Amino acid sequence: MLGNSSSATEFFLLGFPGSQEVRRILFLTFFFLYAVTVMGNTVIIITVCVNKHLQSPMYFFLGHLSVLEVLITSTAVPFMLWGLLLPNTQIISLAACAAQLYLYLSLGTSELALLGAMAVDHYVAVCSPLRYDIIMNSSTCIWVVIVSWVFGFLSEIWPVYATFQLTFCKSNVLDHFYCDRGQLLKVSCEDTLFTEFILFLMAVFIIIGPLIPTIVSYTYIISAILKIPSASGRRKSFSTCASHFTYVVIGFGSCLFLYVKPKQTQAAEYNRVASLLVLVVTPFLNPFIFTLRNDKFIQAFGDVLKRCYQFLKS
């Protein structure tokens, strides 16, 4: 416990409760998920970059989405694994805590913006196929990605700045496995109601903003697909959009649960579960959702493996 006149300069993260045996099981589980996440998304990035058959807007966006997933999960999971392996070592400085929270929120916001852009890309592909190459040209795609990254990193400057302008004198213990904003507000000795309300409004704008074009796009997409006369044509169109739609439901659903609420200091157990969905589960599922049923990507990945084998053989 800290004195009323002093503010914490470092925080101790409690991580996950339980015995040492439970912590070992969690470590092995999360280490496996993290390793598969990094390797799977890296495979997507390399395959999209080197295979000329995947030089299209859909795979261009998918490559950047995979980059974001690797970076997002890497902001917190390695530190979490260290804490599970060596208990009572999860001490993080105030500056490192601010940097971790800023990177996590910024990368997450960029990802939501990119998911909204991908939904619009699917809409153009399904509803305006003849004009697709004109609308979604290389210049447009590059600008979409740049805007997504810039929007993410600019929009989270004030929320993180406002959070760390508070005085943290109630305690320097955070009941989480990373520097969660709700836990930071909880240990502040100031009245945080106004700050929480502003953060709530900004979360609504940041999350609902990309969600609206996503919902509108899929409304038109579903309407257009249902008008296709052949069952095989409808099935093919649905399968093209199903992976992205599944990812959207998981990603936006987790973020809505975490941040679109007037009271940020929700029970730590709920926040831990939702944070695991965003930081561990969603990045882990990304390679499987977007590639397992994608024959074009599987073929391109096979070509990359053949080229690597021939290179090593020579």
Q: Which of 209, 195, 233 is nearest to 120 (CA)?
A: 209
Going by C-beta distance under 8 Å and a sequence separation of 6 or more, which residues neighbour residue 280?
30, 33, 34, 37, 73, 77
- Quote the pLDDT of residue 275: 87
- Quote the pLDDT of residue 11: 93
Beta bridge mates, 12: 91, 173
Q: What is the pTM of this model?
A: 0.89
Where do the domains of the chain lie?
10-313
- Quote the pLDDT of residue 266: 56
CA-angle at 88, arms to 85 and 92, nearest 5°: 100
- Quote the pLDDT of residue 54: 84
Instruction: Name the token pair of 272.
Output: 């831990």
- Quote the pLDDT of residue 86: 83
- Beta-strand pair 173-174/10-13: parallel
Pick among 1.20.1070.10, 1.10.150.80, 1.10.3720.10, 3.20.20.80: CATH of 10-313:
1.20.1070.10
Q: What is the mean pLDDT of each run of 10 residues along the chain (314 residues)?
A: 66 86 92 95 91 86 94 94 84 94 95 92 88 92 96 94 90 90 89 86 89 91 83 72 80 78 60 86 87 78 78 70
* 3-state SS record for the chain: CCCCCCCCCEEEECCCCCCHHHHHHHHHHHHHHHHHHHHHHHHHHHHHHHCHHHCCHHHHHHHHHHHHHHHHHHHHHHHHHHHHHCCCCCEEEHHHHHHHHHHHHHHHHHHHHHHHHHHHHHHHHHHCHHHHHHHCCHHHHHHHHHHHHHHHHHHCHHHHHHHCCCCCCCCCEECCCCCCHHHHHHCCCCCCHHHHHHHHHHHHHHHHHHHHHHHHHHHHHHHHHHCCCCHHHHHHHHHHHHHHHHHHHHHHHHHHHHHCCCCCCCCHHHHHHHHHHHHHHHHHHHHHHHHCCCHHHHHHHHHHHHHHHHHHHC
Length in residues, the chain: 314
Instruction: Name the token pair of 34.
Output: 């993290």
208 — phi, psi (to 5°)? -70, -30
- Quote the pLDDT of residue 41: 94
Give dist(CA 243, CA 223) in Å, integer: 18
Q: What is the largest CA-CA distance in the chain?
A: 72
- Quote the pLDDT of residue 60: 93
